[in-house]
């Protein structure tokens, strides 16, 4: 989640930087054109001429006024329309450069941002193809083959151990477990979340004792995840498990179901050898 927020922030920062660059391009001033320089020079050098011209204009205005009062038609603001002059080559080249700079930025942005954004969306979008956080389906026959060797069937994509549940313990289990867990037990399967309920270490299987034994602080859980020893406050958490034919569906889309309280011992399984921890 934090990575997604960082990437989105980076995208926004990139977009803002691009806008700032484009904006700066619009306000950039080139060097003064030759025409401007010569106009400025002529203004300075011909100050006297300018005063003269102002006086001439005032005299012309007075004459126009007199003629208007006499009933003559006088053209309004005659002679004040500025004459059009084309841009010189220097000014033109600055404008071209600005145009190409902006075009390159726009094309570059359009080429890079959409594919990057789409890749990001594809990365963040739930795939629906299974994995932790969704339903994971495995074959019951594969699990049974593993159980025959006295090993739990580990499903990495669900971070779950599948274990057989003995039918003779169902009466006790019905009192100790919720309906969501009991459904799987009735079909002979429990789905145990690999995370230790003490402080979250992954709990490995101890083949010698036939228990799960946590290497972090020594919590121990029997074959079906009920707590036997150590600082853990309860048994291992469960995921709902549904058996259909040869398929076992492990539903990790919600929150794990809290393990049974300390003292729960539905299978009466003692350690079958030396402990690993």
**Alpha-carbon gap, residue 203 to 196, rounded angstroms:** 6
φ and ψ at 205, to 5 degrees?
Answer: -90, 135
For residue 171, which of 187, 184, 182 has the smallest C-alpha distance?
A: 182
Residue 155 vs 196, nearer CB to ligand FES:
196
**Is 214 among the residues that bind ligand FES (CB under 6 A)?**
yes
- Regarding 219 and contact with ligand FES (CB under 6 A), the answer is yes
Note whether 181 and 190 are within 8 A (CB). Answer: yes
Q: Is 230 in the site for ligand FES (CB under 6 A)?
A: yes
Binding mask 180-209 toward ligand FES (x if CB under 6 A, else -) reads ----------------x-xxxx--------
Q: Determine the Cα–Cα distance for residues 85 and 115; give it in Å rounded to an integer.
A: 46
Between 232 and 241, CB nearer to ligand FES? 232
Please state the three-class secondary structure of 37-62 as a single string.
Answer: HHHHHHHHHCHHHHHHHHHHHHHHHH
Q: What are 218's two structure tokens?
A: 């020594």
Q: Which of 109, 166, 231, 258 binds ligand FES (CB under 6 A)?
A: 231
Question: Binding to ligand FES by residue 216, rule CB under 6 A?
Answer: yes
Residue number, 213 or 265, with CB nearest to ligand FES: 213
Strand-pair category, 189-193 with 220-221:
unpaired
> Interface with ligand FES by CB under 6 A: which range of 135-143, 226-234, 243-251, 260-268?
226-234
257 in contact with ligand FES (CB under 6 A): no
Note the helical H segments in the chain. 2-27, 34-45, 47-69, 89-124, 140-147, 170-176, 179-186
Tell me whether residue 198 or residue 223 sits nearer to ligand FES (CB atom). 198
Q: Which is nearer to ligand FES, 219 or 266 (CB)?
A: 219
Residues of this chain that interact with ligand FES (CB under 6 A) are 196, 198-201, 214, 216-219, 230-232
């Amino acid at each position: 989640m934090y990575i997604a927020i960082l990437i989105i922030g980076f995208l926004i920062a990139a977009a803002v930087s691009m806008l700032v660059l484009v904006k700066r391009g619009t306000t950039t001033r080139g060097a003064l054109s030759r025409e401007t320089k010569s106009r400025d020079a002529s203004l300075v050098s011909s100050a006297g001429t300018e005063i003269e011209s102002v006086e001439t204009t005032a005299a012309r205005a007075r004459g126009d006024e007199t003629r208007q009062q006499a009933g003559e038609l006088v053209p309004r603001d005659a002679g004040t329309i500025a004459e059009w002059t084309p841009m010189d080559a220097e000014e033109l080249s600055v404008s071209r450069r600005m145009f190409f700079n902006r075009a390159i930025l726009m094309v570059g942005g359009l080429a890079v941002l959409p594919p990057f954004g789409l890749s990001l969306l594809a990365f963040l979008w739930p795939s629906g193809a299974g994995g932790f956080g969704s339903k994971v389906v495995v074959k019951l026959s594969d699990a049974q083959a593993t159980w025959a060797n006295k090993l739990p069937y580990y499903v990495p994509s669900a971070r779950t151990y599948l274990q057989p549940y003995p039918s003779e313990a169902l009466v006790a289990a019905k009192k100790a477990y919720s309906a969501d867990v009991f459904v799987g037990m009735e079909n002979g399967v429990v789905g145990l979340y690999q995370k230790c309920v003490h402080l979250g270490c992954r709990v490995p299987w101890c083949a010698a004792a036939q228990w799960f034994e946590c290497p972090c602080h020594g919590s121990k859980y029997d074959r079906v995840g009920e707590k036997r020893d150590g600082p853990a406050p309860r048994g291992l958490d469960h995921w709902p498990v549904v058996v259909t034919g040869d398929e076992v569906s492990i539903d990790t889309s919600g929150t794990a179901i809290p393990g049974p309280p300390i003292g729960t011992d539905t299978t009466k399984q003692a350690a079958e050898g030396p402990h690993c921890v």
